[in-house]
Structure 1
Amino acid sequence: MAARNRLPPWHESIRLPNGRDVLIRPIRPEDAGPLKASFALLEPDEIRNRFLHSVQELSDDDVQRLTHPDPRTEFALVVAEPYPAGEALVGAVGRVFLLPGTRDAEFSILVSKYIRAMGLGRHLILRLVRWARGQKVERLYGDVFDQNTPMLTLCESLGFTRQQDHDTPGLFRIMLDLREQHPDDDTEDTPA
């Protein structure tokens, strides 16, 4: 049996095209320190693309909220070094949360420049889609700035549609109808 099969659920060890090994796994409380440290390495555009506005630093409340997702309504994965939680630098985060009283969920992804363009955005989206389907979500959406062409292109390749946000110039809402057949994580096992 391959070592990959012995990992806990939602854990996946992969080798990136640059030869670096990373672990994709659910976020843990112990990731608070590394998450805060990783945030300090992000460029302003990376932060703006994820949070849709400028953020100087993650507050302790933000870090607490991010590292303690409510398993009934949200799910978050990190791409980290293959070290124990609390010791591993976090290079990417994917998060999805259910919107109360609906069959909709919102997702967001942030991939650091250090591991960008290695297929991790696709990999994370596919895992978030899988979780959302398991929660009987009908529509998965996210908000993306028009200059974030890689994210828009990636989402469209996975079947997301985009709609201009009329209240915020330069912002698109991308939506995936999970009631329709779309690519899922069974078709993509490794980063592209």
Structure 2
Amino acid sequence: MAARNRMPPWHEKILLANGREVLVRPIRPEDAVPLRAAFVLLEPDEVRQRFLHPMKELGVEQAERLTHPDPRREFALVAAEPLPPGEALVGAVARIAIDDNGRDAEFAILVSHYVNGMGLGRHLMRRLVRWAKGRKVLRIYGEVLESNLPMQALAASLGFQRESSGDPGMIRMVLDLPPPKPKLPPPLPGMGAAAR
């Protein structure tokens, strides 16, 4: 019985402070249409903070790109209504992509003002960090507007440090992850615990 009720990997239901339940899960191709529909509900400042420039709509190609992450180097989560993908309104998107060097990964998070200020951004960021650790990433970074103080504060509260960015008006938030511990070789045959 318990096995039947178990959630798939990276799926979890969260009760927000306003009493609304959302499902945090990996992004799906079916989310492209709801993402485009929800985009027009965003405030201009929300769009600018995430995409770093004004946009009136999320294009079809952009939505397709967002909803088809490369599983070898990208991971994206959504916080959506607990409905089937394609029907659920998406309130937040979090994404991380590993750089070509295999050691660094860039994050981006967008939380709609409808569910902002309820701890969802922190929850999503922790999930991105967990995924990156599992992929043996050593450094996570994100380009954040200088004016985006909430994102800077959120990242700093999770251990991210501020670095100067090459772009004016931008701050780079960086989290160094501990290197993975080397695996110990298996004990030699015939050696007991006392001998080790």
Same topology, TM > 0.5: yes
Counterpart residue identity of residue 107, structure 1: F
**Is it true that 1:40 corresponds to 2:40 in the alignment?**
yes
User: Following the alignment from structure 2 to structure 1, what is the Cα–Cα distance between the partners of residues 5 and 53?
Assistant: 40
Q: Deviations over 1:37-73 (max 9, x none)?
A: 0111111110110011112211111011100111001
* Equivalent residue number for residue 60 of structure 1: 60
| 1:174 correspondence with 2:165 | no
RMSD: 1.8
Structure 1 stretches of at least 4 aligned residues deviating more than 6 Å after TM superposition:
1-5
Q: 1:110: how far off? A: 0.1
Matched, 1:128 2:128: yes
Contact 1:4 1:12 in 2 (8 A): no
CA shift, 1:172, in A, is 0.2
The residue that corresponds to 2:107 in the other structure is 107
Which residue number in structure 2 is paired with residue 98 of structure 1? 98
Larger relative contact order, structure 1 or 2 (CA cutoff 8 Å, min sep 6): 1
Distance 1:52 1:81 in 2: 27
- TM-score, normalisation: structure 2: 0.87
1:69 — aligned with what?
Answer: 69
Provide the C-alpha distance between the structure 1 equivalents of 2:49 and 2:43, rounded to a whole number of angstroms.
10
- Counterpart CA distance in 2 for 1:114 and 1:88 is 15
For 1:104, the aligned partner's letter is D
Which residue in the other structure is 1:158 paired with?
A: 158
User: Which one-letter code corresponds to 1:48 in the other structure?
Assistant: R
In 1, Cα distance between equivalents of 2:49 and 2:101: 27
Deviations 1:159-190 (A, max 9, x none): 0001122x42221000000117xxxxxxxxxx
Give 5+ residue unaligned stretches, structure 1.
181-192
Letter in 2 for 1:32: A
> 1:3: how far off?
9.1
